[in-house]
Structure 1
């Protein structure tokens, strides 16, 4: 995985937050010698940290190691040009009293593990963003910056919020936007609406238009919405998505239900792509939720290409790789592990998986196959 590098695209006035937008440039040196360039984007759902997770990761009193969680999926992120997910926890300072549900506060090492295992970017607009108030937003963003992880959806200032995030992947400029349905009742301080993007259709339309004005060829919108544990999108989700398409979005990803919901292609309006895609919920990528459907997630791969002569961009394929979260004892001790379960022979050979675990994995894979393709068969299972 080639790490993202943050480039400031306007004069360095007041350093970071005075700019109108910024770009993350990736793979610029990999432009094909012919007229076609390609990119692969990997998207995952909720990145949670319940208290059993940080207790399993604890090395000593205030030191943690979350890296083992990703040891089986890190190579799969390295095949993508850009990887992002929904950061559904707040980061606390060293020495904090950490907590899980319902008011998340996680160690700094949670973020450093994301950076070290292939993530380039996180969406930070969700119902737990304000779990630790305004200070929690600032600490989380400081930790993301420290680890060179891009972010959107929650911000440190109004100018930060108004700075549209644009990534440049192999000559394709993509804007990333993120919004949440709410904050679990946590109050946004007066005059500081910039702390989190809520689903406000007027704001979303304005942001999409601004992204186009500053040169975004594609617009990807990530939502945190829907009814928890429901495997079919709600009418609210559908209505918001339809308006987002009308505003000109090309790609839409989402989370919050903690279970996978279907993906669907759509005919775009006022967008660059002729056909776009919405993934209504990518499920839990890592959490302590252990029930059927909540212990499963996906890595969604979006494969795109651009003709450098005609400037036309299109989706060449959409693939998904089902994942399952293991919680138990391995040869290394107690672990959480994200396991790719697209190939049966892989998990059949893991010695720590009992027959009960294997049965759950088989069920999760079958469930995922059925749910993700509910609307379309054109989303294919990813074969590694």
Structure 2
């Protein structure tokens, strides 16, 4: 048996990269393999992708925190890995390798981007594949062009009531996943599954500006991945937690939140690009960009997201040669200084966060339930099929 621990988005940009992560590192040390999404570039390249707004690029030294946390494999299939251009992407891969971390979901061409990473523990081989449905145009890898493993989806806006003229009414949103990209994804997952005992797919998807809700693309893609051979699906990008479900016995975690998304210079960067924007006034930002917009938040200089983004989790999946034995979530909180602290059962925030996750579950197709318990001294919520 091996234990796979996973988190959502990770981007470290702070004077002391490893500061605040000791409590979380203790929890992650209980895993045989640790996975996360590297939400940005660690690079000194002067390049910048022209599409990057508020680019997430930090010095390579910040990758030290990733090794301190014990990551074994990290996804680069996201909407920020190419913010530092192609050279920035290369330097990020090199920074991860210097710390003995496998990078998945990006490469020098389309084939490399979709190539699985195989890790063996206790005589079990686990394959990791990563892809993103959310990315700026041009970030996707192509034949002979570096980039990320991308799965495009086309969005259509439909009149919700064709029998009624109602100008300005909110449309129904319908998503269709690109058939060519589906074929590439299916081939990558099937190839990985043929070479491994367990196949894990990380996928960047969803809407970061709404709590709880899934886009209609997410269940579509989850079904595609499980049908192709994924045993575990790990979702990220939304910064706000999402629910989880089982598809044919495979756990699908739709949104693991973030353990770090350090953006200390966000206001200054955005004000340079849009001098008339109110990024230095939180009340004005609330009126302009809404409750769940991305702008600096008082008391949390590194984390410019809604207070719900301070709730986060570590996903746990125990597997052996027969499949998934157990899975669930360790609840954690991000503190004002960026420290990440796993919760104990006695922590008064434990009950609040359990109620929050149960609300997330209510928005996910396919019933699942959380059974609160304790593991290694930490609060642990076992995920089980619902009634």
Query: TM (normalized to structure 1)?
Result: 0.71
CA distance in 1, matches of 2:333, 2:223: 31
What CA distance in whole angstroms lies between the structure 1 residues aligned with 2:356 and 2:88?
36
Structure 1 residues 95 and 248: alpha-carbon distance in aligned structure 2, compared to 1, 3 A threshold? closer
Q: Which runs of no fewer than 5 residues in structure 1 stay unpaired?
A: 1-37, 59-64, 268-274, 307-312, 328-334, 346-357
Q: Does 1:285 align with 2:277?
A: no
2:205 to 217, 221, 225: 225
**What's the secondary structure of 1:293's corresponding residue?**
helix
For residue 2 of structure 2, the aligned residue among 9, 22, 39 is 39
> 8 Å contact 1:298–1:322 — kept in the other structure?
yes
CA contact (8 A) 1:318 1:378 kept: no
CA distance in 2, matches of 1:225, 1:284: 14
Q: 1:167 to 1:82 in 2, by over 3 A?
A: same
- CA-based RMSD of the aligned residues comes to 2.6
Residue pairs, 1:1-384, within 5 angstroms: 38-49=1-12, 54=13, 57-58=14-15, 65-93=16-44, 102-157=54-109, 160-161=112-113, 163-186=115-138, 191-199=143-151, 200-213=181-194, 215-228=195-208, 229-267=210-248, 275-287=249-261, 288-306=303-321, 313-327=322-336, 335-345=337-347, 363-372=352-361, 375-377=367-369, 380-383=372-375, 384=377
Offset of residue 108 of structure 1: 1.5
- Structure 1 residue 238: Cα displacement: 0.8
Is the 1:289–1:295 Cα contact (8 Å) retained in structure 2?
no
Q: Deviations over 1:235-294 (max 9, x none)?
A: 110111112222221111110111111111121xxxxxxx21100110122221342321
Q: TM-score, normalising length from structure 2?
A: 0.70
Aligned residues: 299
Show CA shifts across 1:102-135 (max 9, x none).
2111122221111122211111100112111111
**Uncovered stretches (5+) of structure 2, i.e. residues with no partner:** 152-180, 262-302, 378-387
- CA distance in 1 between counterparts of 2:344 and 2:308 reads 16
Moved over 4 A (4+): 94-97, 186-191, 378-382
In the alignment, which residue of structure 2 is the partner of 1:9?
A: none
